[in-house]
Structure 1
Amino acid sequence: MDPYRILVLLSFFLRLHEGWATAVQGGQFAKGSIEVGGLELREHTTFTKIWTAAPLNSGDSSATFFSPSSLPSGFFPLGSHAQSHTPNPSPTRALIARDTANSLASPTDFTVLFSSNFSSPSPVFFWLPIPPPGYTAAGHVITTSPQKPPLSSLRCLPNHLLEPCHSDAPTWSPKSDLPFTVHLSYSLGTFVAGGEPPLHCLKKNDIALAAMPNLTQIRALIQTFSPIFNFHPKELYLPSSVPWFFNNGALLYTNSSSNGPVRIDPPGTNLPQGGTNDGAYWLDLPTDPASQNTIKAGNLSFAEAYIHIKPTLDGTATDIVFWLFYPFNGPARARAGFIEISLGRIGEHVGDWEHVTQRFSNFDGEMTQMYFSQHSSGEWVNAAELEYAAVGERRPAAYATLHGHAFYSKAGLVLKGEAEKIGIKDETAEEGAVMDAAAGCLVVSAEHLGLEEPAWLQYMREWGPKVSYDVDKELGKMMRFLPGKMKRGLRTLVGRLPKEMLGEEGPTGPKGKASWNGEES
């Protein structure tokens, strides 16, 4: 068996929870704390509410602010915590730290950053900790008192453990005309406040090497938590393995040679390796119609889930990404009220890659969230809100949309990008074909373990040809029988579709996606 290949077989003699408890033992993963750089880090979930900011004006955001409480002996906060009021907030947690080798320091003073009573009967004060030389305050403090917080209210971290990090949208901004915002460090669980507050995160590589799971633990995570993929009962285009796609006649084309296309060997070793998507190569179906139809249908019995293991949240969490390969993506469909609209060939393309991501805490080994990719975007769903295979099971369902293969956490109909009451149909349903991600999977990349990646993963060009049909012509066929307002809505809607979904560009493989080395969009 290749060193990076893990074939997970379901056990009929071992309950999932019992097997999980045994399999994760060893190393720092899932032991409850992470030791790095002379300090011990833990996740903390007990807080005292300090203040809630309610919006006063249209467009204002709202948030609740907390202080970690009931800390274990010897542990200190790294700052206060903030939770934005969103429909699907992330689980509330913050890191606390204990000194094991004189690596923590108290602030030398506090300076008030901002105070106001604009949305509460009581005032609120945001405090900037002043760190000693060589240290950084990774979080700020909030109080309802004008008195400075005690120096023992947090600890500063040594500079060598931190690095500047990207700031997402503010967790809270009081008013549009005030240059004051609050940004949350999602890895630390602390916030910083100010006009353009600098955000610091833990150095990912230092934490990841210490805390991420090994191959045995990855096997246990997959066996216990991997998804069950559900396909629409009317789905004509199912996934396959990459070698099956190559074995059945997929062709490699290039614009740099007058020679015809070439067959691809099953491991993909004759594909161009590395580089960037320069448009010089692309894959396509075989030329004879019978072989084309065979490949388009895919083959579920040969399908594999290709797994990428990567650190996230500065190495305090692990993402396990399950990629599915579809030889063909079917045509898109729209809906206007109760009218179903076929979009002809719009949406058809060769070589479709879709994925779901499961996020695990490196502190306790539990799945916290799951990401469902949906064309050029997607959504995170908290573990408690997922649909599971059975009572007592920990394996969530993932529903693939008809023809388009976007993933959702529950079956049903979603209209994407509505314009003039017309939307692209993302339709999922039960009672279709099912794929068990744990029955046969391949770990294709885990950089912290130094695993060798398969040759086809290094192919950075397009897995399908550019569009071979006229989008305007296809739209013309569909719009002949629609009233003028619906015609405008349909044209606007199609214009908003991602180029890969339209088929205007051949899709790239997993390693060419922005999420491979970054966060999910």
Structure 2
Amino acid sequence: MLGSYAQPNNRPLSGWVLVAKTDQSAQILTQPTNYSLIWSNDNSSGNPAFFWLPIPPDGYKSLGLVVTTSPEKPSPDKIRCVRSDFTADTEIDDWIWSQGINVYGLRPRIRGAGAQPVSVGTFVIQNDAVALSSLINKNPNYTSGRLSRSQMEAVFRAYAPYVYFHPDESYLPASVNCFFSNGALLYKKGEESNPVRVEPDGANLPRGGSGDGLYWLDLPAERGARDRVRVGDLPSAEAYVHFKPILGGTFTDIQVWLFYPFNGHAIAKVGLIKRLSLGRAGEHVGDWEHVTLRVSNFDGALHKVYFSQHSGGRWVDSRLLQFQSGNRFVWYASRNGHAGNYEEGLYLQGPGDGVGIRNDWARSDKVMDAGARFAVVAAEGVAEPAWLSYERKWGPTEKYDTAVEVRRVKKLLPGKLKKALEGLVKVIDEVFGKDGPTGPKVKNNWSGDE
């Protein structure tokens, strides 16, 4: 054992913790020299628990705590410490539970496609500030057992989500090829009067130059075509899939990206007014949203899923997901903003007290089967499409002033609600932004972690 495992008690026992074995002559594992009792609960509760920190010898690190139901110190043979050069720093992960203490999971501090630290599956007691470590996979060929193209597609089809859009959704996804083929334009700074039509495969898009503001994409200039393209084209929509090793090759992350030609305006809830349209506030051309499936390389099980939500997102344990057609989960996209979620409902972003920007998730007959229409665009051995290397913005910087748009609506409200609405201006700009977004490959989570 390298440490103990903890989880909330409101779900079936699940999860994992790593154990290790070694050739004793290598001296990579060794017993602790002692234990320090760092916390125990009230024995009168009838469920005594004692949390012990292993004290490692010089040159070794502890990777987890030991939990007992007795005040007697555990045997030194109960656990192993690991030689320091096989360990890496950790940081607090998800909150697990609280009962006199806060218990959090641990994860490696350095994570990403090329990072070799491995999560052990242990936990930490926050109020003790215990410095525990993770493992390092020191095998230089730890990704050599990568999946073939056909295996990648088979794994994805086994878990591929069904994407449900809100019944009142006006701005649906489309394939990148459909966006380009229907008149998307490439603009260059200083030459705005002479935009270039993008080729269907994006072959004429410039590469490199991320963040230089020199180029951007926009909808077709002609009004009729512009209106047709901005609403998307669900029959053409594709899921763009990216495979990458994570956590030292112990897991594979499968990122699933959807492209929306347009992000709709923000809708607010203000007191008893359930749905208040805020003019153009929140609108912008181009919207990339994604989920990430974390699949265990030990047994192929879907561990958890990350749902992107505007500028952030959240990990959801696979046991909380809604499934249909076997192991395929449901991905809800919020109305207008397309933030992802694992269940239907409403979430308000804003100052609170019943005031905020609505994120509405609901099931409808507007649904996309990601397993039926997808393309693996990035993985070892996969040729990437030309458009994936376009690093500039997928939409122009919008010209409207969010504060002005909100003030127009505010005039129609009674005095008490006017003040409540003022606090949403900053939230709208932070959540939606006015810049066209960059593409998937430019985002930090493309090669890093979520």
TM-score clears 0.5: yes
TM bracket, shorter-chain basis: 0.7 to 0.9
Select which of 87, 103, 117 maps to 1:162: 87
- After superposition, the Cα gap between the structure-2 partners of 1:174 and 1:241, relative to the gap in structure 1 and judged at 3 Å, is same
CA drift of 1:332 comes to: 1.5
Which of 325, 331, 338 pairs up with 1:398?
331
- Judged with a 3 Å threshold, the aligned counterparts in structure 2 of structure 1 residues 493 and 125 are, in CA distance, closer, same or farther, namely same
**Partners of 1:236 and 1:297 within 8 A in 2:** yes
Of 115, 120, 128, which aligns to 1:188?
A: 120
* Residue 435 in structure 1 maps to residue 377 in structure 2: no
Deviations 1:53-82 (A, max 9, x none): xxxxxxxxxxxxxxxxxxxxxxxx111233
Task: Specify the SS of the correspondent of 2:444.
Answer: coil
Cα offsets for 1:246-278 (capped at 9, x unmatched): 122212222255772222222323323234323
Structure 1 residues 509 and 204: CA distance shift in structure 2, 3 A: farther
Distance in 2, Cα, partners of 1:443 & 1:233: 29
| 1:98 aligned counterpart, secondary structure | coil
What TM-score do the two structures reach when normalised by structure 1? 0.74
Q: What is the distance in 2 between the residues matched to 1:280 and 1:322?
A: 28
**What is the deviation of 1:364?**
0.9
Classify 1:227/1:349 alpha carbon distance in 2 versus 1 (closer, same or farther; 3 Å). same
Structure 1 residue 118: Cα displacement: 6.2
**Does the 8 A contact of 1:285 with 1:292 survive in 2?**
yes
Distance, in Å, in 1 between the alignment partners of 2:187 and 2:301 is 44
Q: Unpaired segments of 5 or more residues in structure 1? A: 1-76
Alignment of 1:139-158 (within 5 A): 139-143=64-68, 145=70, 147-158=72-83
* Cα-Cα RMSD: 3.1
- CA gap of 1:224–1:463, structure 2 versus 1, over 3 A, is same
Q: CA deviation at 1:228?
A: 0.9
Query: Which residue number in structure 1 is paired with residue 321 of structure 2?
Result: 386
Aligned partner of 1:112 in structure 2 is 36
Counterpart CA distance in 2 for 1:173 and 1:340 is: 37
Cα gap change, 1:326 to 1:495, in 2 (>3 Å): same
Matched, 1:411 2:337: no
Pick one of 32, 54, 74 that aligns with 1:128: 54
Distance apart, 1:418 and its partner CA: 5.0
- Cα 1:201–1:498 change in 2 (3 A) is farther
> Which residue of 1 is the match for residue 263 of structure 2?
329
2:440 is the counterpart of 1:506: no
Mapped to 1, the partners of 2:182 and 2:13 lie a distance apart of 44
Match of 2:276 in 1: 341
2:174 to 218, 240, 253: 240
**How do 1:172-211 residues align onto structure 2 when only pairs under 5 Å count?**
184-185=106-107, 187-191=119-123, 196-203=129-136, 206=139, 208-209=142-143
Distance 1:200 1:289, change over 3 A: same
2 CA distance for matches of 1:183 and 1:233? 38
Question: How far is 1:401 from its partner?
Answer: 1.8
Corresponding residue for 2:22?
99
Say which SS state the counterpart of residue 88 (structure 2) adopts. strand
Decide whether aligned partners of structure 1 residues 142 and 485 sit closer, same or farther in structure 2, where only a CA change above 3 A counts.
same
**Residues of 2 paired with 1:371 and 1:183: CA distance?**
17
Aligned to 2:394: 463
Q: Is residue 181–residue 195 contact of structure 1 (8 Å, CA) maintained in 2?
A: no
Following the alignment from structure 2 to structure 1, what is the Cα–Cα distance between the partners of residues 363 and 153? 28
CA, structure 1 residues 500+251, in 2 after alignment: closer, same or farther (shift >3 Å)?
Answer: farther
Q: Number of residues paired by the alignment?
A: 434
Number of the residue aligned with 1:269? 203
Q: Which amino acid aligns with 2:414?
A: P
Q: Is the 8 A contact 2:160 2:328 kept in 1?
A: yes
Counting only pairs closer than 5 Å after superposition, residues 207-286 of structure 1 correspond to structure 2 as 208-209=142-143, 213-255=147-189, 257=191, 260-286=194-220
CA distance in 1, matches of 2:242, 2:387: 14
- Once the two structures are superposed, the pairs formed by residues 464-483 of structure 1 within 5 Å of their partners are 464-483=395-414
Amino acid at match of 1:380: W
Question: Do the aligned partners of 1:284 and 1:464 also contact (CA within 8 Å) in 2?
Answer: yes
Counterpart of 2:446 in 1: which secondary structure? coil
1:453 aligned residue = 384
Cα contact 2:295–2:301 (8 A) shared by 1: yes
Structure 2: give runs of 5+ residues left out of the alignment. Answer: 109-118
CA shift digits 1:423-473 (9 cap, x unpaired): 222223333322111112111112xx2433222212222111112212222
Shift of 1:361: 1.3
Tell me the secondary structure at the aligned position of residue 222 of structure 1. helix
CA apart distance, 1:204: 5.9
Aligned letter for 1:107?
Answer: Q
Residues 173 and 297 of structure 1, relative CA distance in 2, 3 Å threshold: closer
With 420-429 and 461-470 compared, the bigger mean Cα shift is at 420-429
Equivalent position of 2:224 in the other structure: 290
Is the 2:269–2:357 contact (alpha carbons within 8 Å) kept by the matching residues of 1?
yes
- Please give the per-residue CA displacement for 1:335-356, whole angstroms capped at 9, x wherever unaligned: 2324421111111110001111
Equivalent position amino acid for 1:514 in 2: N
The structure-2 alpha-carbon separation of the partners of 1:355 and 1:208, relative to structure 1 and needing over 3 Å to count, comes to: farther
Closer, same or farther in 2 for the Cα pair 1:199/1:421, shift >3 Å?
Answer: same
Q: Which AA in structure 1 matches 2:22?
A: D
1:358 aligned onto 2:323: no
Find the residue that maps to 1:415 and give its secondary structure. strand
SS class of match (1:456): helix
Counterpart residue identity of residue 421, structure 1: G
Residues 1:442 and 1:182: Cα distance change in structure 2 (over 3 Å): closer
**C-alpha contact 2:95 2:104 (8 A) present in aligned 1:** yes
Q: Is the 8 A contact 1:345 1:469 kept in 2?
A: yes
CA distance in 1, matches of 2:88, 2:69: 30
